[in-house]
Amino acid sequence: MTVMVTGASGLVGRATVKALLARDEVRATVRRASDASYLRQLGAKVAVRDVDTPDALSEILPGCHTVVHLIGGVAQPDPDELFHANHGSVLRALEAATQAHAKRFVLLSVPGADPETAHPFLRAKGLAEEAVRASGLQHAIVRATHAYGLGGLWFTAAVEGALAEPPIVVGPGDTDLAPVFVEDVASVIAGIDDAQAELAGTWGLEGPDVVTADGFAGMLRGDDAEPTHASGQAAAEILTRLLGVPFDAVTASFFALPSRADGPDAALAFGVSRTPLVDGLRVTLAEAAAVDTG
């Protein structure tokens, strides 16, 4: 089968394209030409374009069985773009998928997505989920906890905060987290694409190990240094300074929330064995070391 992956340049996108290529032809979209090279080396057919209208996507969708929609994320330039990226992009992709007679639509979402919530990111994701359910397409919505791997924004923020002196944790230190290895997210998406039965459901996905935010910082540091804590705009300013990229209070407030699955187990449903946190971190840190020495 042929699969389209939108927003394929990010952490989850790269891993997903690689997982799907083991069994399918993969088409992908990215916004910048510089992001296309790696995906093409993997074997994907990559279109460089802004998917800002259904037509921009529908012309490259014919023959695709599945659309995996990964455009979006909490870090956006302003509130309008946050809604546009996480809700509007889904509406356009659904329209294009319908026009191209695609059979299945996969949306990566987050725990707590709710059209009635006050948090703008979770609200946009909740409205996107509603649109997918109402589309008439076969669909699978995967509400994944924070994914970690080399280059992910949440993970990078967690690492830089943990390694600061003193270490900084965004939000309460006793917040529960169950980070999921990015390759496990990709394997679940590939399992959804492989499923023979018709699909129409929402699943949750989390890593097999639950830690507190302070405990995670300790794992990253390898010691028991006592973290300081920040929330809201103060946290956003700290993250901006540590990472050298703009953070706003919306992103910081999302990073401060608990991150636990709130749906039926996607890993169990689609036959994926989840990676223990210590093993996933070891792989990620080895990849980082290889980049530094390469």
**pLDDT tens-digit map of 99-124:** 999 999 999 999 999 999 999 999 99
Question: 199: Cβ–Cβ under 8 A, 6 or more apart, which residues?
Answer: 104, 138, 139, 140, 192
- Residue 69's pLDDT is 97
Closest C-alpha to 143, from 156, 155, 128 = 128
Residue type (1 letter), 79? P
Is-contact 227 166, C-beta < 8 A?
Answer: yes
- Residue 294's pLDDT is 59
- Residue 288's pLDDT is 87
Dist. CA 187–CA 142, nearest whole Å: 12
- Residue 59's pLDDT is 81
Dist. CA 96–CA 61, nearest whole Å: 8
Is-contact 213 124, C-beta < 8 A?
Answer: no
Half-sphere exposure of 258 (CA within 13 A, CB side): 9
- Residue 55's pLDDT is 79
- Residue 225's pLDDT is 94
Closest C-alpha to 126, from 142, 115, 110, 112 = 115
- Residue 120's pLDDT is 98
Burial class (CB in 10 A: 0-12, 13-18, 19+), 42: middle
Q: Reduce the DSSP state of residue 143 to 3 states and report it.
A: strand
- Residue 291's pLDDT is 76
* Low pLDDT (below 50) residues in the chain: none
Give per-residue burial for 264-275: e unless 16+ CB within 10 Å, then b. eebbebbebebb
- Residue 54's pLDDT is 73
Domains and CATH numbers, the chain: 2-293 (3.40.50.720)
213-219: long-range contacts, CB 8 A cutoff, minimum separation 24: 213/169, 213/170, 213/171, 213/172, 213/173, 213/174, 213/175, 213/177, 214/169, 214/173, 214/174, 216/158, 216/162, 216/177, 216/179, 217/158, 217/161, 217/162, 217/167, 217/169, 218/162, 219/277, 219/278, 219/281
Is-contact 81 17, C-beta < 8 A?
Answer: no
Radius of gyration, CA atoms only, the chain: 18
